[in-house]
Amino acid sequence: MDQFTLNILFVGASFALYIGIAIWARAGSTSEFYAAGRGVHPVTNGMATAADWMSAASFISMAGLIAFTGYDNSSFLMGWTGGYVLLALMLAPYLRKFGKFTVPEFIGDRFYSPTARLVAVICLIVASTTYVIGQMTGVGVAFSRFLEVSNSTGLFIGAGVVFAYAVFGGMKGVTYTQVAQYCVLITAYTIPAIFISLQLTGNPIPALGLFGEHTQSGQPLLQTLDALVTDLGFNDYTGHHGNTLNMVLFTLSLMIGTAGLPHVIIRFFTVPKVADARWSAGWTLIFIALLYLTAPAVGAMARLNLITTTYEGGNIEQPIDYAARPDWMKNWEVTGLLKFEDKNGDGKIQWYNDASSNEEFNAKVEAMGWKGSELSVNRDILVLANPEIAQLPGWVIALVAAGGLAAALSTAAGLLLAISSSVAHDLFKGQLTPNISEAGELMTARVSMAIAIGVATYLGLNPPGFAAQTVALAFGLAAASIFPALMMGIFSKRINNKGAVAGMLTGLVVTLIYIFLHKGWFFIPGTNSFSDADPLLGPIKSTSFGAIGAALNFAVAYFVSNATEEPPQEIIDLVESVRIPKGAGAAQDH
């Protein structure tokens, strides 16, 4: 059976499974659409949350970014996992105890203000829409290769699948679909990693093989990789070469952004009681760890295989002939995500760091007649191409295709559900049409999700970066706007409605402006394009600014609250009841 047929079978079977589950678990009420009727078992919810959490950025893009940069991009691992611990310990149980459907509803009630609720809706939509762009980018990358269609066609197919099971299934359908998607994605991620680890190190556990001996060279695998990348003019793989301040802020931004992501938080509203929220968090950490412990090995081994495929035995002086390039290169060239340009006309593939500051290396490649690096590899393809590079069986390649799509679609569905829930429940039911019937609210939620899918697909056609980079921007926005409001809402009795609104707006607006300036999305007079601006604050990049935005949010909320009246006594009592185990009134378990 040829590879294309295998891909169709695996991907088609997974799609049929998702849609079938959604039909079986179709939401029939707003409670089922928003919170799955609050009847999800903690283990089931843990698995669904893991799938919701591990997006295209985790499955497709993260290992690729680690592979091309090395140690410096380990901040993705530290920030995302650390943030989940923060969410599990500091927010999830208290928000579940409050007993509401959405994050903006909590903010509106806690800060006794329809304006605060509206601002929270805006913050949620901005962060979630940015996040979902990264997922649609991943969908396009996966479809373009494995179903042999264009990137845009892949986006439209993925949008159709999400529409089929998310719009009708709601949270109830999405929950059980995400359980299936977790099983698919974790299997698809670990099986190729095990095969490749056995090939390169003889160790079936990738996380251990990463620190083991490279079978061919007889040296530690990371030492072998360090030697290869430095031979090609790149920084050594295991060294730290970026700015430490930016790395710390980036990690912190990912951490608190994780804890402020509405689509993850609402998953804890689906369990029967507060204790189940804590158990869900524990199970989710276990399920997430299975992939996150494997990702560094996948990145390192993929980079090693890529180099040894491009150069005979990894020898920089023996680049392969383009005419004799391996099939995996031919397959990915069709997508436009891998490109070759013969700059010196010798018919060979020279792939190296042509911007190296190493004068000795530059003199060496100049003496060999090289005119610049000739291979362009999109980092988002590396995990998906890895089984092909390692020449694994066709069924493994097809499984990875299904896994990558499962990762992207599961998170896209969660994000779109968070957006539609906020629009229908917080905007329409909460403010615009408070007397809307339950059937009308349910229809509004479905229509708003359909519109959100259309917007996300359109924006996914021209994303602002690789999948993981786009997602990092979303985390920064959530960190700067939503996370501080949640923390202050739970742990501070003094923050009032004026302070909360001022803080959220400050964090969101300042962070957005910084992102637009750094990414160069403001037109600069006298030029014909958007400027690629430098960071405004020393080394702090747009993906790291969320931590600064959060600090501004906290500071503004504190000063405005202390300069104005205290919250009403019933709100102070409410905060107290949320934090006391037995609770009272509106904070009782539901």
pLDDT value of residue 211: 93
For β-strands 338-340 and 375-377, DSSP reports them as antiparallel
Does residue 9 or residue 432 have the better pLDDT? 9
Compute the CA torsion angle 72, 130, 147, 294 (nearest 10 deg). 30
* pLDDT tens by residue, 225-278: 999 999 999 999 998 888 889 889 989 998 998 888 877 787 777 788 877 887
pLDDT value of residue 467: 52
Q: Is the dihedral of CA 79, 210, 237, 144 positive or negative?
A: negative
Does residue 555 or residue 360 have the better pLDDT? 555
pLDDT surpasses 80 at 537: no
Q: How far apart are the first and last CA of the chain?
A: 53
Predicted structure pTM score: 0.80
Amino acid at 48: A
CB within 8 Å of 475: residues ≥ 6 apart: 79, 127, 131, 253, 254, 257, 258, 261, 546
| Burial grade of 218 (CB within 10 A; 0-12, 13-18, 19 or more) | exposed
pLDDT value of residue 507: 94
Q: What is the residue whose two structure tokens read 């750094």?
A: 518
pLDDT value of residue 407: 77
pLDDT value of residue 26: 67
Round to whole Å and give the CA distance between 129 and 474. 8
Long-range pairs for 526-531 at CB < 8 Å and ≥24 separation?
Answer: none
> pLDDT tier at 298 (50, 70, 90 boundaries)?
very high
Distances (CA, A) of 347 to 370, 374, 375: 11, 10, 12
The answer to whether 51 and 406 are in contact (CB under 8 A) is yes
**Residue 220 DSSP class:** B
pLDDT surpasses 70 at 190: yes
pLDDT surpasses 80 at 528: no
pLDDT surpasses 80 at 472: no
Q: Where are the domains of the chain?
A: 3-302+390-471, 303-387
Bridge partners (DSSP) of residue 321 are 348
Take residue 231 and report the two structure tokens written for it.
């031979």
Take residue 587 and report the two structure tokens written for it.
């904070």
Mean pLDDT of 373-388: 86
Round to whole Å and give the CA distance between 19 and 35. 19
Least confident of 32-46, 365-379, 438-452, 558-572: 32-46
Amino acid at 492: S
Phi and psi (nearest 5°) for 18?
A: -65, -45
Amino acid at 585: G
Class for domain 3-302+390-471, per CATH? mainly alpha
Percent of the chain past pLDDT 70, that is, above it, reads 88
Amino acid at 141: V
Does residue 10 or residue 413 have the better pLDDT? 10
